[in-house]
């Protein structure tokens, strides 16, 4: 017997789930598979003693797009959490993002004019013309102290390479402000879903067939074999693939580069409050992790005891989890070559952070998935 689906969706992350939800609403039959043993991809949260543990690193939903905010609000109520991380450099604590609180602590100044003057003094005479890399971008915006203490070490351990070999856009993700405002994002809409992110994906996938611990290649092969043997098999018109695009093509043009992470979780049932903030960054090179997150603070201290996660950046090799695309010139060029191949795959769509090889935040992923739905359906 043959079971037929309109779409085989590879990946239960945000992209695959938004697409499946919308396709199902439009009467399409989807089968969603994931090689992991849980749904939700990197936004997966797990509840422990009333604490939602962000299993793959801190996830704060933020957007400037009202439509995307309203869309996500259909699936969850968002609390009013505002991300205000702190940074520790050689035992000194600073506010992030770079703002008057940071400058005041660094230089003992009080006014925006004094801060601007200090930065001007620091960049005066530096040989920076047209911005070519992250180091030049950071120095020209914030001066040498901010760069040396809060950016250089963090960035080099996060990306495993010199700041001069990284694209400038990475640091432009962070606001630089001459006001006393510690909000890490400039978007008007921000929050954490009450009940965790996994519940959002559960709602999106409600009524849709999901198979976990199922890798695409193996699944495809097994269905082909079953069909050849005259056994029950599954067929589909189209595939939406949200895994790594280079893996899909068997790395035939070479490897795209990624950065990986190792998450070290520490459960402290006896401790009520470990660090007093959801996110603390460790910006010096010598400390091997980039940040410690304390999950209960995303929901204003709810839950018993506490759980923290240290985030260690790692180089990526085949088989590791690819958390970040490395969008430098070389990799972007290789990606566009893969896109050329992708355009010849008539019945396969590529989406999400890995399928589109972009340093996408969640709101952009939802936006891109909805755009794909518009185009496709
Ligand atoms: P994913 O969540 O990666 O989902 C892809 C799924 O496909 C995975 O479940 C994977 O197992 C599955 N898959 C891959 N290959 C195969 C295969 N061959 N067969 C079967 N299944 C396969 N964004 C924000 O907006 N705010 C934040 O604060 C934020 N913090 C982040 C922190 C970290 C540490 C990281 C890494 C990302 C962060 N992001 C944040 C980005 C956010 O995680 C992504 O935008 C979003 O999760 C991407 O969704 P996706 O569906 O594209 O990918
Ligand atoms: N960054 C930094 N110091 C910090 C925090 C961030 O230099 O304390 C830089 C670093 O290069 C990082 C980039 O800013 O990769 C983007 O930071 P963001 O917090 O957006 O990173 P993500 O949450 O995506 O890992």
* Co-location of 209 and 163 in the same domain: no
Residue 147 lies in a domain: yes
Are residue 245 and residue 358 in the same domain, yes or no?
A: yes
Pocket of ligand 1 contains residue 242 by CB under 6 Å? yes
Mean pLDDT of 24-36: 98
Entry pTM: 0.98
pLDDT digits (tens, 9 = 90+) for 184-216: 999 999 999 999 999 999 999 999 999 999 999
Does residue 101 sit within a domain? yes
Structural domain boundaries enclosing 12: 2-39+205-257+326-376
Q: Are residues 161 and 215 in the same domain?
A: no
With a 6 Å cutoff on the Cβ, whether 60 touches ligand 2 is no
Residues in a beta bridge with 234? 3
In a domain, 369, yes or no: yes
CATH number at residue 231: 3.40.50.720
**164/229 same-domain check:** no
Q: Is the pLDDT of residue 1 over 90?
A: no
Note whether 147 and 239 are same-domain residues. Answer: no
Q: Which ligand is nearest to the CA of 42?
A: 1
* Predicted confidence (pLDDT) per residue in 336-345, tens digit: 999 999 999 9
Rounded distance from Cα 359 to ligand 1 centre (Å):
10
Report the first-to-last Cα separation within the chain, whole angstroms.
28
User: Measured from the CA of 163, which atom of ligand 2 is nearest?
Assistant: 11
Q: Is residue 317 part of a domain?
A: no
Look at residue 289 and tell me if it is in a domain: no
Please check whether residue 307 lies inside any domain of the structure.
no
Inside any domain, residue 219:
yes
Report the pLDDT averaged over residues 121-132.
93
Buried b (16+ CB within 10 A) or exposed e, 151-184: bbbbbbbbbbbebeebbbebbeebebbbeebbbb
Backbone φ/ψ region at 328: left (φ over 0), alpha (ψ -120 to 50), beta: beta
Instruction: Give the contacts of 266 (CB within 8 A, at least 6 positions apart).
Output: 307, 308, 309, 310
State the ligand closest to the CA atom of 166.
2
- 7 and 132 belong to one structural domain: no
Residue 52 counted as domain residue: no
Evaluate whether 128 touches 121 at the Cβ level (below 8 Å): no
Q: Are residues 232 and 98 in the same domain?
A: no
Q: Name the residues annotated as catalytic.
A: 173, 177, 259, 291, 311, 359, 361
Kindly report, residue by residue over 298-345, the tens digit of the pLDDT. 999 999 999 999 999 999 999 999 999 999 999 999 999 999 999 999
Tokens of 67: 């439509």
Ligand 2 touching residue 87 (CB < 6 A): yes
* Total domains, the chain: 2
Per the DSSP assignment, residues forming a β-bridge with 98 are 176
* pLDDT-above-70 percentage for the chain: 100
16 Cα nearest atom in ligand 1: 51
Q: Which has the higher per-residue pLDDT, 251 or 1? A: 251
């Amino acid at each position: 017997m043959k079971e037929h689906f309109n779409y085989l969706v590879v990946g239960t992350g945000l992209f695959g789930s938004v697409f499946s939800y919308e396709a199902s609403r439009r009467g399409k039959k989807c089968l969603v598979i994931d090689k992991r043993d849980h749904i939700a991809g990197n936004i997966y949260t797990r509840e422990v003693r009333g604490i939602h543990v962000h299993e793959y690193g801190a996830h704060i939903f933020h957007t400037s797009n009202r439509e995307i905010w309203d869309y996500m609000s259909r699936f969850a109520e968002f609390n009013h959490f505002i991300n205000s991380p702190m940074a520790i450099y050689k035992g000194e604590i600073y506010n992030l993002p770079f703002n008057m609180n940071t400058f005041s602590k660094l230089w003992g100044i009080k006014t925006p004019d004094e801060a601007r003057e200090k930065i001007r003094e620091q960049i005066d005479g530096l040989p920076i013309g047209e911005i070519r890399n992250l180091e030049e971008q950071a120095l020209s915006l914030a001066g040498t102290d901010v760069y040396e203490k809060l950016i250089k070490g963090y960035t080099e351990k996060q990306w495993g390479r010199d700041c001069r070999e990284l694209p400038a856009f990475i640091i432009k993700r962070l606001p630089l402000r001459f006001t006393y405002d510690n909000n890490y994002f400039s978007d008007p809409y921000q929050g954490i879903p009450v009940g965790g992110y996994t519940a959002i994906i559960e709602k999106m996938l409600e009524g849709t067939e999901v198979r976990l611990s199922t890798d695409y290649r193996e699944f495809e092969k097994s269905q082909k074999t079953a069909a050849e043997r005259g056994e029950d098999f599954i067929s589909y018109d189209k595939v939406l693939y949200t895994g790594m695009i280079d893996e899909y093509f068997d790395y035939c043009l070479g490897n795209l580069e990624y950065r990986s992470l190792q998450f070290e979780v520490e459960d402290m049932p006896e401790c009520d409050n470990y660090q007093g903030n959801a996110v603390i960054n460790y910006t010096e090179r010598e400390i091997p992790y980039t940040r410690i997150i304390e999950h209960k603070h995303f929901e204003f201290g709810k839950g018993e005891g506490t759980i923290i996660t240290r985030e260690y950046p790692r180089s990526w090799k085949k088989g590791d989890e690819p958390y970040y695309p490395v969008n430098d010139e070389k990799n972007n060029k290789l990606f566009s070559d893969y896109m050329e191949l992708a355009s010849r795959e008539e019945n396969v769509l590529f989406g999400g952070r890995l399928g589109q090889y972009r340093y996408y935040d969640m709101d952009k992923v939802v936006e891109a998935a909805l755009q794909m739905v518009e185009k496709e359906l």
